[in-house]
Chain A
Amino acid sequence: MISLAGRDIMHSLGKFVFTGMGLGLLIGITLSMAGIYRGLVDDGKALLENSGADLWVVQRDTLGPYAESSSIYDDVWRSIRGLPGVARAANATYFTMQVRHGERDVRAMVAGITPGAPGTPGWPPYLVAGRQITRGHYEAVADVATGFALGDRLRIRRNLYTVVGLTRRMVSSGGDPIIFIPLKDAQEAQFLKDNDAIRQQRERTAANPAFNRPQVPGLLEAVIASQSTNLYVNAVLVQMKPGYEVEETAQAIRRWKRLTVYTRSQMEEILIGKMIATSARQIFMFLVILSLVSAAIVAFIIYTLTLGKIREIAVLKLIGTKNRTIVGLIMQQAVALGAIGFMVGKITATLVMAPIFPKYVLLQPLDSVIGFGAVMVICMLSSIVSIRAAMKVDPAEAIGG
């Protein structure tokens, strides 16, 4: 049997292909938007996965360290380390800033990590090049999204850091790439004022008669020294021993150490539910609107494509073609168009759109499957509408007009 649909497509191949391509671009943008939404949420979760922590201990009554600022003394980890069930506890600092490299500067989150060995909470869990930090000072591991290369010298505040390793998908909840540096440097960088401010602070202190007393030599120096130390970190990351209840340890820290503690699910709630909630909802609304518009456009295209063939359908009816054959013709064309559109869309979304977007685009296979299903359903529904129009056509139209 000759495929009527195939013959018809062959008849106007160019038109068919270009319509498919156009549909494909539209579907591609919709898929990309879904990818942008997924990427946004994935960025929010990336910190949780990458920190390797089971518990986050932060300043009391704050949503730290990511959503709010939090500072606790850097020796708090010792008392937490001693609690039952705690396998590892490590200090961490996080702050977002512009990091300079030559003429260029990059917005990045600088994470201070406790010295130790790979696998310490807060360390990058895997690398794509170079090595992990081995020195206690002036080394950095940067996310590839910063555009830095191995051996680059970065300026963070007044110190220069050598990039010794590169990692991937280490981003803050806002999508800024993370640069890991040793904790002591990070504490200093977070606190350290520029040299002018330090000098002015010294002068201010010296002008204060309470601190600059002639009878007490050395007091001024002692006060200035105490002003220029930073004993704070933003959070203590805790890894649990297997077999212990996370919530029990969290409760013990809350009760006896009088600090606020978040478990992984609570932290996820903070990051996804609070920090990126509005922007995620925004993108999601865009996705919904774009999907609706795309669906409408796909339906119109199928509908007009069929209506354009109304005369041929009338001829078919005139020569006594069965209704089933005509329905098959329209349905097959619609499905073929949808399939081509989806393929072109998936390809453009993956190969063209995702790489050029400045933020992370996560194209999930499940989204693609849902998208494919939606495209097919829309094509069939709209073809049913046009089939109704085709069935109503008067065979006489083929002769008249």
Chain B
Amino acid sequence: MNRFPIQRRTLVMLAGFVPLIALFVYVALRSGALAPVPVTVTTVENRPVAPALFGIGTVEARYTYPIGPTYTGRVKRLDVEVGDHVEAGQVLGEMEPIDLDERIRAMEAALKRAAAQIDEARARHGYAQAQARRYQRLLEARTTSEETVTTKKNEFQIAAASLNAAQEESVRVGAELKALIAQRESLVFVAPAAGLVTARHADPGATVVAGQAVVELIDPAQLWINVRFDQINARGLAADLPAHIVLRSQAAESRTGRVLRVEPLADAVTEETLAKAVFDELPQPLPPLGELAEVTVDLPPLAAGPVVPNAAIQRIDGQLGVWRVIDGDLRFTPVTPGVTDLDGHIQVRDGLEVDDEIIVYSAKALHPRSRIRVVQRLTEVKP
């Protein structure tokens, strides 16, 4: 009997079933909970870390001059528009004087009247003095009574006091006139410094209250960035540190600057530390005030030490640490993280040695009993 066909069939069957079983075993062991977790590993590097701080701020003017009237009144004229450059001392506009000019004229007339009153008092004073002297001589010649002489002396004293009062009244009226003139002058808006007009809050004819700004000036040569850093990351922030400033409108361009000062008061509500940063060279044209800017402050670099990527740091059972690979086995090693830089490198103060092998990425959360498979790149991640 020819057994060859049976053998051939057996071979065909084996050829069909063996791959099927192999595939099944592969599927059963390589997927699901039994499969090893794909991970990528790296070694702990010894390198310096250049920590930096990142904050967000807005462009603001260092010096702002809100200019407005000191008395409630009506705006008479405004000579400047937003965007105008003005010189120190330049007249920007004026408030309506209303009755002030008339009051000044009245006061001038009152001053003249006071002068006339002085003349009158002086004339009375001269006459009373002469009378008093004459009667004194008559008394010496015994041709008048002592009572009359006393009366004349009294009249002379009254005339002297009247003259004095008239003179002081003239001083008073003069001072009031000066006060009115000063008040009149304060109705004129004068630029206290050279600057750029940034706002014009009222137009001629509008009524404004005392202290309300009508025109706002800034010093365009003195712009700074009011920048906010989250308190948790603000360690080491200090004046004069170099900074990179990126304006929102010019995201591709990074400008150099420095920290001018760190504000002694932090924002308690937003939990942020405030600082002022200035450009080394002002951008031209000037960025609009209020534009958002990203400020990166470079802190002094630290000496070399063991450095790991921050993706490797995990918290297991309340402890920060990294997964080490020791002879193919997983071991969770607690570490004390130190300074970090903005590219995600963390210097490890304690717990790791340089050249230790650690896990950076894993396809799922690891446990001490997890089986791992080291790969170059996790499959789901696009190159």
The chain A residues found within 8 Å of chain B, CB to CB, are: 9-10, 13, 17, 49, 52, 75, 87, 115-119, 125-132, 134-138, 144, 149, 164-166, 168-169, 184, 214-215, 217, 231, 239, 241-242, 340, 343-344, 346-347, 350-351, 354, 363-365, 368
Among residues of A, the one whose C-beta sits closest to the C-beta of B17 is A340
Query: Is B315 a contact partner of A149 (Cβ separation < 8 A)?
Result: no
B344 contacts across to A, CB distance below 8 A: 130-132, 134, 164
Give complex CA distance A368, B34 in Å: 12
Closest B residue to A345 by beta carbon equals: B24
CB-based contact B313/A117 at 8 Å? yes
- Find out whether the CB atom of B28 lies under 8 angstroms from the CB atom of A340: no
A134 contacts which of B28, B294, B337, B341 (Cβ < 8 Å)?
Answer: B341
A125/B318 contact (C-beta < 8 A), A116-B232, A135-B54, A365-B33 known: no
- Which B-chain residue is minimally distant from A124 (CB atoms)? B311
Instruction: Give the complex CA separation of A127 and B310 in angstroms.
Output: 10
**Nearest chain B CB to A20 CB, angstrom units:** 9
Q: How far is the CA of A347 from the CA of B211 in the complex (A)?
A: 82
Report yes or no: A134 in contact with B27, Cβ–Cβ below 8 A: no
Q: Which residues of A contact B100 (CB under 8 A)?
A: none
Give the residue name and chain of the A residue nearest to B317 (CB): A242
Assess whether B365 is in contact with A126, with CB atoms less than 8 Å apart.
yes
Output the nearest chain A residue to B72 by Cβ-Cβ distance.
Answer: A215
- With known contacts A117-B340, A168-B363, A217-B212, A128–B315 Cβ distance under 8 A: no
Interface centre among B207, B212, B229, B315 (most CB of A within 10 A): B315
Residue of A nearest to B55 (CB): A136
List 29 A-B pairs, Cβ < 8 Å. Answer: A10-B9, A13-B9, A87-B318, A115-B233, A118-B311, A118-B313, A125-B365, A126-B311, A128-B363, A128-B380, A130-B311, A131-B343, A132-B311, A134-B340, A134-B343, A136-B54, A136-B230, A136-B233, A137-B54, A168-B364, A217-B209, A217-B211, A217-B213, A242-B317, A346-B27, A347-B23, A347-B27, A365-B28, A365-B33
Distance from B332 Cβ to chain A, minimum over Cβ atoms (Å) = 12
| CB <8 Å contact, B380 and A168 | yes
Q: Is the CB of A118 within 8 A of B317?
A: no
Q: Mark B227-270, 1 if CB is under 8 A from A, else 0.
A: 00110110000000000000000000000000000000000011
Q: Which residue of B lies closest to A141 (CB)?
A: B311
B1 close to chain A: CB less than 8 A: no
> Which residues of A are found within 8 Å of B232, using beta-carbon distances?
115-116
Across the interface, A129 reaches (CB within 8 A) one of B12, B346, B361, namely: B361
Beta-carbon nearest neighbor of A119 in chain B: B315
A346 to chain B, nearest CB (A): 6
What chain B residues lie within 8 Å of A17 (beta carbons)? 16
B41 within 8 Å of A (CB atoms): no
**Contact residues on B (Cβ < 8 Å of other chain), bracket:** 35 or more
Instruction: Verify if B32 is at the interface (C-beta below 8 Å from A).
Output: yes
Determine whether the beta carbon of B28 is less than 8 Å from that of A115: no
Minimum CB–CB distance from A244 to chain B (whole Å) comes to 11
The smallest C-beta distance from B12 to any residue of chain A, in angstroms, reads 7
Q: Does B306 contact A (CB under 8 A)?
A: no
For A240, the closest partner residue in chain B by CB is B318
Q: How far is the CA of A347 from the CA of B21 in the complex (A)?
A: 10
List the 10 closest A-B pairs by CB distance, nearest first: A131-B344, A119-B315, A135-B54, A118-B313, A127-B311, A343-B24, A136-B230, A129-B381, A217-B212, A128-B378
Q: How far in angstroms is the closest Cβ of chain A from B67?
A: 13
A386 to chain B, nearest CB (A): 24
Q: How far is the CA of A137 from the CA of B270 in the complex (A)?
A: 14
Task: Assess whether B195 is interfacial by the CB under 8 Å rule.
Answer: no
Q: B378 contacts which chain A residues (CB < 8 A)?
A: 128-129, 168
In angstroms, Cα B377 to Cα A149, docked, is 14
Would A128 and B381 be within 8 Å (CB), given that A115-B233, A116-B232, A136-B230 are in contact?
yes
Q: Taking the nearest CB of chain A, how far is it from the CB of B272, in angstroms?
A: 9
Shortest Cβ distance from A101 into chain B, in angstroms? 13
Which chain A positions have C-beta within 8 A of B55? 136
4 further A-B contacts with Cβ under 8 Å, apart from A134-B310, A184-B230, A365-B34, are: A75-B269, A126-B364, A128-B362, A168-B363
* Nearest residue, chain A, Cβ from B29: A365
Q: Are A125 and B314 in contact (CB under 8 A)?
A: yes
